[in-house]
Amino acid sequence: MSFDRLIEKIAEKQNPTVAGLDPKLGYIPQFIKEESFAKYGKTLEGAADALLTFNKGLIDALCDIVPAVKPQCAYYEMYGWYGFKALTETIAYAKSKGMFVITDGKRNDIGTTMEAYAKAHLGKTEIEDICEEAIGGDSLTVNGYLGTDGIKPLLGICRELDKGIFVLVKTSNPSSGELQNLEFKDGETVYQRMGMMCEEWGKELPGKYGYSGVGAVVGATYPEMLTELRASLKHTFFLVPGYGAQGGGAKDCEGAFDENGIGAVVNSSRGIMCAWQKAENADEHDYAKYAREEAIRMRDDLRKVIGEMRLK
What residues from 107 to 136 belong to the interface with a copy of itself (CB under 8 A)? 107-114, 116-117, 119-121, 125-130, 132, 134-135
Instruction: Look at the chain and count its residues.
Output: 312
Q: Within 2-31, which residues bind a copy of itself (CB under 8 A)?
A: 22, 24-25
Q: Which residues in the 274-303 window bind a copy of itself by CB under 8 A? A: none
Per DSSP, the residues of 104-117 read EEEE---HHHHHHH
103 φ/ψ angles, rounded to the nearest 5 degrees: -85, 120
H or E segment and range at residue 199 = helix 190-202
Q: Is 312 exposed, middle or buried (0-12, 13-18, 19+ CB in 10 A)?
A: exposed
Q: Render the burial of 24-62: b for 16+ CB within 10 Å, e for the rest.
A: ebebbbeebbeebbeebeeebbbbbbbbbbbbbbbbebb
Nearer Cβ to a copy of itself, position 179 or 312?
Answer: 179
Stretch that binds a copy of itself, among 7-15, 147-155, 248-256, 289-297 (CB under 8 A): 147-155
Cα–Cα distance measured from residue 272 to residue 59, given in angstroms and rounded to the nearest whole number: 11
Least Å distance between CB 252 and a copy of itself? 18
* Neighbour-count burial of 17, counting CB atoms closer than 10 A to its CB (0-12 exposed, 13-18 middle, 19+ buried): buried
Residue 197 binds to a copy of itself (criterion: CB under 8 A): yes
Cβ closest to a copy of itself, residue 247 vs residue 307: 247
- Residue with smaller CB distance to a copy of itself, 149 or 300: 149
Q: How far is the CB of 305 from a copy of itself (least distance, A)?
A: 25
Q: Compare residues 81 and 278 and give the one whose CB is closer to a copy of itself.
A: 81
Do residues 90 and 21 make contact, with C-beta atoms less than 8 angstroms apart? yes
**Min CB(118)–a copy of itself separation in Å:** 9
Q: Indicate whether 228 belongs to the interface with a copy of itself (CB under 8 A).
A: no
Beta carbon of residue 229, minimum distance to a copy of itself (angstroms, whole number):
16
**Is the CB of 63 or the CB of 274 nearer to a copy of itself?**
274
Instruction: Give the integer Cα–Cα distance in Å for 279 and 222.
Output: 29
DSSP 262: -
Q: Which is nearer to a copy of itself, 83 or 255 (CB)?
A: 83
From the CB of 146, what's the least distance to a copy of itself, in Å? 5
Site for a copy of itself in 148-187 (CB under 8 A): 148-150, 168, 171-180, 182-185
Selection from 15, 14, 11, 16 nearest residue 215 by Cα: 16
Q: 28-87: which residues touch a copy of itself (CB under 8 A)?
A: 33, 37, 42-44, 46-47, 72, 74-75, 77-81, 83-85, 87
Kindly list the catalytic residues. 106
Q: How many residues bind a copy of itself (CB under 8 A)?
A: 73
Judged by CB under 8 A, the residue of 7, 58, 165, 194 near a copy of itself is 194
| Closer of 177 and 249 to a copy of itself (Cβ) | 177
Q: How far is the CB of 4 from a copy of itself (least distance, A)?
A: 27
Q: How far is the CB of 244 from a copy of itself (least distance, A)?
A: 14
- Under 8 Å between Cβ of 74 and 67: no
